[in-house]
Structure formats: structure tokens, C-alpha cells
Amino acid sequence: MGQRLNIEIVKNGEVLANSYYHWDAFSNVAINLAIKIINNFDYIKRCNVEEYIENKDLLFAIRLLEETGAGISNIDNARKLLKDKTNNLKLKKCEGRNEGIIGITKEDIEETRYWEEGRVSIDIEKKTVDFNVINEYTVEELKEDYDEEDIKEMNIKEINRDFKNISFEDIFELKAFIDKANYNEEYYFYNKKDDKYVFLIQ
């Protein structure tokens, strides 16, 4: 994995919108962006989804991604997709790929997925997060990619943790785990939960 991060807003298995960040596919950066969305989730749902917009799910997804600093490239097109009859809805303008480019068309969403090197999926219906800004290996894959001496030097620690289907409440535990790992410069783990090796991306 490298630097290209995709954060997706999902409902009922459908990606409503996603955002491309050119330099952010690192475990600690990605979790902090996800936390920004979750911390503002209830407020945005309650106060920042304009009633006159027909496509409220899409607007909610956009508003959540805007919290990360991401923006829309083609605001006029976004207003059409949102069915904004006033044609005056305020949306955040994209400031560049480093800040985040929000994709709302099928083509834009697929393009972001094509380039992604790490993905965070946020399900607004289930209120869960899938965090895939890590490198995972089976035992066989680890031995194929690293020699025995390298594996010994990694000082691999054992954990028992979910990285998928994480509730909004539990996402803060994942952040604490990643923060502690970065502070201690410990990036290599064996996860008992699914019998895989998990390497944080730093």
C-alpha cells in the first residue's frame, strides 16, 4: 500500500459518495479522518442536511466527507444530482487532491476505487466502520514476502482485534491502539481474531 486513501460513505451496501486523498493512506492519518466524520455524524444529520433537497442521503454523505476537508469539483453537477431546485445549495469547493476530492457519480466513485491504496468504509445505516488501511498477510504470504531474519527483527506482537464492522463507539479504541503503536514504534502484529498478520502503515 502507499499514499492514496479512499473514504467511502455507504448505505445498504451502496456507496453514496467517496473521497480521494492523495497522501493519506497511512493508518494514523486515516483513523483521524474517520474520527472527524464520526464525531460530527449526529450534528450533521440533525442540523446540516437541508430539508428542501430531495436526495438527502447523498447530501448527508457529502456533508460527512466535507468534515475531512474534502470538496466537490463540479458543484453545478452535484446540485443536479442532489435535485436542488433552488440551484443555490452551498457546497464545499474542492481545493485539491491532497485535501480530498469527493466523488458522487458512479464513474468518479469507481475511479477513486481504482487508484486507492487504502480504504475506510463508513456505513451510515449500521453505524459501523471497515478499516482497511493496513497490510494483512496469512502465514504463507508473510513467509513468501519476508525472510526468517526479517520476521524476527519485526518483534511481532499478538493482538485480538476487529478491523471490520467496528461500531462507531468502538472506533475510538482502534484509534487508541494505532496511536499507542505509533508512539511505541510498534507496527507489526499477529491478530488472533482472524489468524492473520497485521502491519500498520506509517
* CB 27, CB 201: distance < 8 Å: yes
Domain residue extents for the chain? 5-132
Residues 141-177: tens digit of each pLDDT: 999 999 999 999 999 999 999 999 999 999 999 999 9
| pLDDT < 70 regions, the chain | 1-2
Per-residue confidence (pLDDT) for residue 1, from 0 to 100: 45
The residue among 9, 7, 5, 37 whose CA lies nearest residue 22 is 5
